[in-house]
């Protein structure tokens, strides 16, 4: 496919921060009709490079040139909105300072973009949520009708519907677009080119993110072969140098200088390839009961609007459930009800036994902004963090989440969004837990940390509840998806987001089909009554017995466990110790069997009443 005319060109950009080189000869071109993804490792300088293109940061050398008269709009990762009286004023103001872009957007264009994104143009900016701030930033960028559009993490805090609308806007955009995002599905659908910021330079690919992994593997394999060739050559030259006096003759000085140059190249390759990687692990608590959450007929309304209507859900040990839906649909409300942190208007929630819950909410309330990173990780003081039952120095644990020792005394309020998110995960994952509850865990995370989080959750042997708008992340982690399909109705679908989308992708069509089915059923002759619509007397009686038995067994297990932990019990009374240990093992087996039997009866009850 032929490229359009060049609209932006970066040539030989160089920049050092704190004496360390960040860019060393970065060059690339953006063309009309192209949307390129800018990717790179954590700390590679992606946002810095985009800010250079917008005019916020100056390079040490090199140049950035735009086509004559080309305008630039920049949707920042953390927009500064509060200095404006209204969202209209904000959306009209220029968003970049590069030549040709210092012009206000027309009021009607700013209003139209804000309204299209669900925002009131007359609203004061103070108090906007993260998602509203991100939509306002996008409205400002599109209202300027730029030739070059720069988007830094545009999908953060957006729900899936808004992300899909953004994909459509980018597809219809007639200029050049450069985007930084951790949302892999968004990049797959929106991009047609790649800029890979790697080892201080930019590598380019004339295909979108869908081909990135395959291309990256080829690049890394070739770099590995080049490193091996260099090592072989260096070994031979060092052998020559060790032979002695001949290496010091003047005619061989050039060869010796080439050897030193190769050594320097090897050191640089080693340093550049040593990109820090997050190493996320969760501290596992004791085993929970087989049944973690049993929610029946939950309903809640806001005014006249049904948020959740007659929804039931059973969460079993080992489930990884993703909660999806538009912003305001009630995902966090449902999550709080399931955890018994909020009462529904009707219905009931029963929690299983021995639950140890680690909860990272959307506001990261687990963190005190006035504390330092060190304080957050060591709430009891000292320099040790208990991780998976073992003490670890706070600096060593923090490094697993990509924090350097120099950052440990940094106040939390000074951290970036991604750093706050990583710190909240570090605090939560250090605590022993068998249930992880993560509300929007992927916001502001770089891809490396996102991959590490996905790998950790996929192998976690506890139970996970996740609220997320990241479709690829949900496909990689979730075993079930729970989401709304309209009018307060929520459904559960096995598998990840793709399975949910396949089954419930068009909620209005689903409701129309359901209505047509209901009308058809009303006209059809009555079905033959089922022979059995409720449990037998025997099953009902056994269910009641099990309801009474399971709490007794749980109390007995707790008592026996406490008795075994008495100091010197084995030394003073080995018979009692052995008897207690044997009974504890038997009681746990009885509780497991009782839970299984109770679940079988409840599943039978649901099957009998499903068509009533």
Check whether residue 145 and residue 39 sit in a common domain.
yes
In a domain, 476, yes or no: yes
pLDDT band at 509 (very low <50, low <70, confident <90, very high): very low
User: Is pLDDT at 265 greater than 60 in this prediction?
Assistant: no
In a domain, 522, yes or no: no
Cα(498)–Cα(510) distance, integer angstroms:
16
pLDDT of residue 522: 39
Check whether residue 356 and residue 243 sit in a common domain.
no
pLDDT band at 193 (very low <50, low <70, confident <90, very high): very high
Residue 313 β-bridge partners: 295
pLDDT in tens, 538-561: 777 788 888 888 888 888 888 887
Check whether residue 198 and residue 340 sit in a common domain.
no
Least confident of 158-162, 311-315, 587-591: 587-591
Q: Indicate the burial class of 24 (C-beta count within 10 angstroms; 0-12, 13-18, 19 or more).
A: middle
Looking at the structure of the chain, the number of domains it has is 4
The string of DSSP letters for 478-506 reads -SEEEEEEETTEEEEEES-HHHHHHHHS-
Domain end among 225, 247, 273: 273
Least confident of 161-165, 275-279, 394-398: 275-279
Cα(401)–Cα(398) distance, integer angstroms:
5
pLDDT of residue 608: 66
Cα(72)–Cα(193) distance, integer angstroms:
19
β-bridge pairing 193-198 and 357-360:
unpaired
In 3D space, the residue among 54, 56, 58 whose CA is nearest the CA of residue 74 turns out to be: 54
Check whether residue 301 and residue 247 sit in a common domain.
no
Q: Which residues of 452-471 are buried (b: 16+ CB within 10 A; e: fewer)?
A: bbbebbeebebbbbbbbbbb
Which residue pairs, CB below 8 angstroms and at least 24 apart, start in 42-48?
42/275, 42/276, 42/278, 42/402, 42/446, 42/448, 42/449, 43/275, 43/276, 43/402, 44/197, 44/198, 44/275, 45/15, 45/197, 46/180, 46/197, 47/77, 47/152, 47/180, 48/15, 48/17, 48/22
User: Is pLDDT at 108 greater than 80 in this prediction?
Assistant: yes
pLDDT of residue 26: 92
Q: Which residues of 524-534 are buried (b: 16+ CB within 10 A; e: fewer)?
A: eeeeeeeeeee
Q: Indicate the burial class of 108 (C-beta count within 10 angstroms; 0-12, 13-18, 19 or more).
A: exposed
pLDDT of residue 511: 46
In a domain, 525, yes or no: no
In a domain, 398, yes or no: yes
pLDDT band at 381 (very low <50, low <70, confident <90, very high): confident
Cα(108)–Cα(502) distance, integer angstroms:
38
pLDDT of residue 443: 79
Q: Mean per-residue pLDDT for 267-271?
A: 54
Q: Which strand (E) or helix (H) includes residue 215?
A: helix 212-242
Computed over its alpha carbons, how large is the radius of gyration of the chain? 30
pLDDT band at 105 (very low <50, low <70, confident <90, very high): confident
Check whether residue 322 and residue 466 sit in a common domain.
yes
User: Is pLDDT at 38 greater than 90 in this prediction?
Assistant: yes
pLDDT of residue 525: 43
Check whether residue 263 and residue 387 sit in a common domain.
no
β-bridge pairing 305-316 and 390-393:
unpaired
Check whether residue 503 and residue 546 sit in a common domain.
no
Q: Which two tokens stand for residue 104?
A: 């206000």
> Residue 261 contacts by C-beta under 8 Å, 6 or more apart in sequence?
none
SS3 573: coil
pLDDT of residue 179: 96
Cα(401)–Cα(429) distance, integer angstroms:
11
pLDDT band at 399 (very low <50, low <70, confident <90, very high): confident
pLDDT of residue 235: 67
Q: What is the CATH number of the domain that holds 152?
A: 3.40.50.300
Residue 36 β-bridge partners: 178, 193
Q: What is the greatest pairwise CA distance in the chain? A: 106
SS3 210: helix
CB-based contact 426:397 (threshold 8 Å): yes
User: Is pLDDT at 244 greater than 70 in this prediction?
Assistant: no
pLDDT band at 530 (very low <50, low <70, confident <90, very high): very low
Q: Mean per-residue pLDDT for 63-69?
A: 90
In a domain, 284, yes or no: no
Check whether residue 123 and residue 96 sit in a common domain.
yes
Check whether residue 322 and residue 200 sit in a common domain.
no
Check whether residue 490 and residue 543 sit in a common domain.
no
In a domain, 519, yes or no: no
Q: Given strand 357-360, what is the order of strands in its sheet?
A: 357-360, 435-439, 463-467, 320-323, 480-486, 489-494
Cα(73)–Cα(96) distance, integer angstroms:
6
pLDDT band at 523 (very low <50, low <70, confident <90, very high): very low
Q: What is the pTM of this model?
A: 0.72
Cα(6)–Cα(29) distance, integer angstroms:
7
Cα(209)–Cα(189) distance, integer angstroms:
8
User: Is pLDDT at 264 greater than 70 in this prediction?
Assistant: no
Least confident of 287-301, 365-379, 447-461: 447-461
Question: Is the CA virtual torsion 78, 80, 86, 88 positive or negative?
Answer: negative
pLDDT of residue 280: 64
Question: Is the CA virtual torsion 452, 455, 458, 462 positive or negative?
Answer: negative
pLDDT of residue 62: 93
In a domain, 200, yes or no: yes
Q: What is the CATH number of the domain that holds 566?
A: 1.10.287
Q: Mean per-residue pLDDT for 317-324?
A: 93
Question: In whole angstroms, what separates CA 230 from the centre of its chain?
Answer: 39
In a domain, 523, yes or no: no
> Residue 333 contacts by C-beta under 8 Å, 6 or more apart in sequence?
300, 307, 308, 342
Secondary structure of 388-413 as H, E, C letters: CCEEEEHHHHHHCCCCCHHHCCCEHH
Cα(410)–Cα(399) distance, integer angstroms:
14
pLDDT in tens, 467-480: 999 999 999 899 99
Least confident of 71-80, 99-108, 274-283, 445-454: 274-283
CB-based contact 133:157 (threshold 8 Å): yes
Domain end among 179, 207, 235: 207
pLDDT of residue 187: 94
**More confident of the two residues 361 and 529:** 361
**More confident of the two residues 63 and 597:** 63
Check whether residue 359 and residue 436 sit in a common domain.
yes
SS3 341: coil
Domain end among 273, 302, 321: 273
pLDDT of residue 540: 79
Q: Mean per-residue pLDDT for 215-219?
A: 84
pLDDT of residue 43: 72
What residue numbers bound the domain in which 264 lies?
A: 215-273
Count of alpha carbons within 13 angstroms of residue 444, beta-carbon side: 21
**Averaging pLDDT over each range in 91-105, 184-198, 532-546, which range is the top one?**
184-198
Mean pLDDT across the chain: 82
For residue 21, CA distances in Å to 26, 402, 416, 565 come to 12, 20, 22, 57
pLDDT of residue 590: 84
Check whether residue 190 and residue 97 sit in a common domain.
yes
User: Is pLDDT at 59 greater than 50 in this prediction?
Assistant: yes
For residue 562, CA distances in Å to 565, 567, 584 come to 5, 10, 10
């Amino acid at each position: 496919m032929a490229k359009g005319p060049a609209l932006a060109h970066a040539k030989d950009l160089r920049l050092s921060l704190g004496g360390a080189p960040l860019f060393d000869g970065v060059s690339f071109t953006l063309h009309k009709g192209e949307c390129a993804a800018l990717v790179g490792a954590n700390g590679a300088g992606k946002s810095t490079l985009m800010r250079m293109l917008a005019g916020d940061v100056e390079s040490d050398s090199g140049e950035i040139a735009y086509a004559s008269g080309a305008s630039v709009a920049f949707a920042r990762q953390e927009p500064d909105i509060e200095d404006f009286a209204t969202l209209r004023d904000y959306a009209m103001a220029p968003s970049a300072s590069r030549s040709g872009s210092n012009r206000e957007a027309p009021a009607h264009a700013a209003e139209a973009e804000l309204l299209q994104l669900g925002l009131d143009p007359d609203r004061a900016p103070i108090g906007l949520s993260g998602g509203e701030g991100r939509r306002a930033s996008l409205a400002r960028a599109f209202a300027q009708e730029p030739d070059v559009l720069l988007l830094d993490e545009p999908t953060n805090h957006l729900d899936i519907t808004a992300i899909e609308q953004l994909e459509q806007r980018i597809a219809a955009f007639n200029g050049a677009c450069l985007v930084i995002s951790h949302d892999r599905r968004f990049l797959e659908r929106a991009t047609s080119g790649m800029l890979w910021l790697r080892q201080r330079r930019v590598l380019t690919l004339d295909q979108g993110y869908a081909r990135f992994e395959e291309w990256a593997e080829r690049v890394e394999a070739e770099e590995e072969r080049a490193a091996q060739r260099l090592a072989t050559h260096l070994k031979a030259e060092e052998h020559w140098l060790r032979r002695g006096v001949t290496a010091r003759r003047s005619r061989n000085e050039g060869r010796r200088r080439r050897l030193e140059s190769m050594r320097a190249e090897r050191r640089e390759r080693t340093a550049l390839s040593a990109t820090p990687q997050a190493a996320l692990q969760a501290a596992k608590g004791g085993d929970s009961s087989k049944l973690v959450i049993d929610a029946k007929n939950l309903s809640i309304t806001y005014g006249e609007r049904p948020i959740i209507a007659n929804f039931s859900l059973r969460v079993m040990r080992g489930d990884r459930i993703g909660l999806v839906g538009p912003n305001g649909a009630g995902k966090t409300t449902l999550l709080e009800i399931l955890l018994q942190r909020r009462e529904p208007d009707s219905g009931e929630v029963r929690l299983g036994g021995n639950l140890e819950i680690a909860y990272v909410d959307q506001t990261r309330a687990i963190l005190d902004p006035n504390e330092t990173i060190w304080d957050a990780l060591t709430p009891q003081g000292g320099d040790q963090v208990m991780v998976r039952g073992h003490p670890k120095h706070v600096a060593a644990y923090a490094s697993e989440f990509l924090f350097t020792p120099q950052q440990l005394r940094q106040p939390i309020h000074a951290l970036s969004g991604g750093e706050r998110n990583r710190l909240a995960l570090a605090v939560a994952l250090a605590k022993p837990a068998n249930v992880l509850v993560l509300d929007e865990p992927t916001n502001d995370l770089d891809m490396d940390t996102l991959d590490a989080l996905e790998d950790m959750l996929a192998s976690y042997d506890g139970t996970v509840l996740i609220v997320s708008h990241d479709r690829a992340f949900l496909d990689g982690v979730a075993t079930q998806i729970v989401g709304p399909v309209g009018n307060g109705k929520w459904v559960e679908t096995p598998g990840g987001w793709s399975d949910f989308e396949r089954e419930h992708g068009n909620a209005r069509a689903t409701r129309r089909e359901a209505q047509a089915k209901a009308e058809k059923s009303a006209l059809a002759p009555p079905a033959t009554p089922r022979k059995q619509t409720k449990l037998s007397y025997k099953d009902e009686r056994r269910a009641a017995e099990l309801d009474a038995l399971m709490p007794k067994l749980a109390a007995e297990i707790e008592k026996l466990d406490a008795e075994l932990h008495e100091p010197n019990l084995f030394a003073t009374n080995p018979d009692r110790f052995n008897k207690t240990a044997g009974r504890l093992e038997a009681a746990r087996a009885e509780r497991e069997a009782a839970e299984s039997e109770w679940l079988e009866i409840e599943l039978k009850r649901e099957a009998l009443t499903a068509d009533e």
